[in-house]
Structure 1
């Protein structure tokens, strides 16, 4: 199976990769679209003519973004809707309110390296937010995705997935010391595994799902990270070993999501991992690029789906 290549790269923007794409008549949801790369993802989809729903925790912030996107794109079919991924009744309400087909679902929202925190169900917060909330949302919208006759799901992962597989024996850190970056890593691995299994299960429905790594973007969440001295030293060592690594703008960070959501090169393609607007090859130890073999493992993808169903039952 050959890797998919495109004319784009790490400096491409969401506007670059969506140029010439016509999304008139298409409907899209972007979670976490009140800030960061979610805003630019939504803006690019709206610029291409899509109806875009910003699924956000703060309706006020979301509406300000919607108003700005309407003003900058001329597309009035942009609105905010309330969604809290860690509050299952909120997810159920969002799904219940949806009518008609859904062509593009961008599971963009996420948190990173948070202090040890658990939901009321006892789920580790990063796994609950980054994976379980999106799992509940996407499976809840399955009929709408089927009705689109060729829907695409974009699952935002991270190079951080190379830090940890999903540790099925102790997903919620009940028996091992909590590490914010290991917790983040396994949640981002879960994002890739979800795309693999969704594409397998829903192939006959015409639904494809792919995972993306947006790149290093100075979003509010990254800026607010509270790192220990050891973690800061590790980060400095990583930068020293890779001096050419650069920070992307939000528009550059959104490019891979938008490309995977819209490019005709991905018609019928699912279960893959993309970075810098290209399909990634295998992860090479000592680097932060490529996809770990365990993140594409079919058996682990199947197991994660079943475990997620059990947790949400």
Structure 2
């Protein structure tokens, strides 16, 4: 098979498209003919040599990628034969191997892809979708809510905007550049603004008809100066929920936290809210169901597998909309 192999930590150019050995499924595993592989911002940090949230160091050489969708084409011992030929999607956890034509994973990680959902969209929901729904456990948006979403054209941001709007909230979405702003508007945001325009906070105040701003919740995956300006728009009792800080670099940033106001909502906090014996799988099932019923419509930016380096550069420079997906 062909795969993207990382032999040395460093820039995106270190992602090499080359021929490798086909992986062999072990007991309880399946092999998937990959139709779509998800690219995550964490992938860019690991490629550069930052450990991030991974529980163990990345061993080189490695095939990056932890989200795949495709067709089951081979079974390991003990796997029910009914899985053969089925359209599936899986999050591989911290075991890499997704940027490839073939990927192996445990059968317990599989979800059947709904008939009305494409492989790229399924990949978007299995990782990014579950994250969005995990964040939304901390918010109950409704007609009285004013939700501000920085990076509203990103993979998570597009879903947060859609969900909050479906719940009846007033939604303000920020994005960088006209094309992204238009995407935010198409997702239903009541106000879509370019955060590179220094006057955007005044536009928010004008829209809300207040002198100081009365945002109830900021759903912040950006950090930096955008977060500082967003937090300043919160009304009394407002909340700042932090799930990332891409503006300051995923490997070393800390976002913008305000004592008594900001709350980190990923990791253990998210899992405690989800509950059940397998919280992440519960969120995955919910995410796929939301997409299958059309309540959430993931945006996807596609690249050929061989152009993984280009995909990483585009993601790092915020040149993409929605979820970035590689297609073999």
Q: Per the shorter chain, which TM-score range?
A: 0.3 to 0.5
More helix, by proportion: 1
Flag the structure with higher strand content: 2
TM-score by length of 2: 0.36
Bigger Rg over Cα = 2
